[in-house]
Amino acid sequence: MTSKTDQSEKPSPIFPFNDRDQMENYLPYQLNRLAREWSTIQGQVLQAHGWTEPMLRIMSSLHAHGQMTVNEVAALSLIEQSGASRVIETLVNAGHVVRKISDKDQRVRTVALTSRGRKKLQEIAPAINGIYSQFVSQLQPDELRACVCGLQKLHTRIASNEAAGEDRVA
């Protein structure tokens, strides 16, 4: 017989919630709460630097992945393509990002960080790293790794289902 504390036991669906405890233990609820809280905290820091969250997401994606198309940047930055295009235009005008035409295919337009853009990211990094450290300060390193690994596992499954043309959570 399996006990309720057995980690191999999958949680049963609990929606609609019968009480506060069920709601507090519902992963999508917690993810939304944490995302909203992080967005608020980060937004305050970004505003003090004259930035927006979409600007940071786009520049961070370009810094991590290098030159990409606008569609790739939009997907990685979790921004609709039209919104990403507007933010990229702002970043181009500020000299943080440059547009390029592919050498292989003249129809393909890409964007990349400029040295000025990399410098701007380095300027804001201490503030972002500081609030991130505070945000996760209650977690031990192994707890943080376990959280990130679990979320990556969920994301990988969803991405695999999408690539196979299946429902996201099938």
**Using H for helix, E for strand and C for coil, what is the string for 10-22?**
CCCCCCCCCCHHH
The answer as to whether 1 is a domain residue is: no
Give a yes or no: residue 169 inside a domain. yes
Q: Over 60: is that where the pLDDT of 77 sits?
A: yes
Query: In terms of domains, do 66 and 36 share one?
Result: no
Answer whether residue 39 is part of any domain.
Answer: yes
In a domain, 101, yes or no: yes
Residue 110 lies in a domain: yes
**61-74 average pLDDT score:** 95
**Are 28 and 65 within one domain?**
no
Peptide bond into 16 cis (omega under 30): yes
Q: Identify the band that residue 159 occupies on the pLDDT scale cut at 50, 70 and 90.
A: confident
Question: Three-state secondary structure along the chain?
Answer: CCCCCCCCCCCCCCCCCCCHHHHHCCHHHHHHHHHHHHHHHHHHHHHHCCCCHHHHHHHHHHHHHCCEEHHHHHHHHCCCHHHHHHHHHHHHHCCCEEEEECCCCCCCEEEEECHHHHHHHHHHHHHHHHHHHHHCCCCCHHHHHHHHHHHHHHHHHHHHHHHCCCCCCC
Same domain for 65 and 101, yes or no, is: yes
Q: Is 61 within a domain?
A: yes
Local confidence band at 38 (pLDDT 50, 70, 90 cut-offs): very high
Q: Tell me the residue range of the domain where 107 lies.
A: 53-124
Domain count, the chain: 3
Establish if 79 belongs to a structural domain: yes
- Asked if residue 57 and residue 28 are part of one domain, the reply reads no
Residue 96 scores a pLDDT above 90? yes
Q: Are residues 41 and 57 in the same domain?
A: no
Flag whether pLDDT at 102 surpasses 90. no
Which strands sit side by side in the sheet containing 97-101, from one edge to the other? Answer: 68-69, 109-113, 97-101
The residue among 48, 66, 91 that closes a domain is 48
Instruction: Using pLDDT thresholds of 50, 70 and 90, give the confidence band for residue 170.
Output: low
- Domain match, 26 and 66 both: no
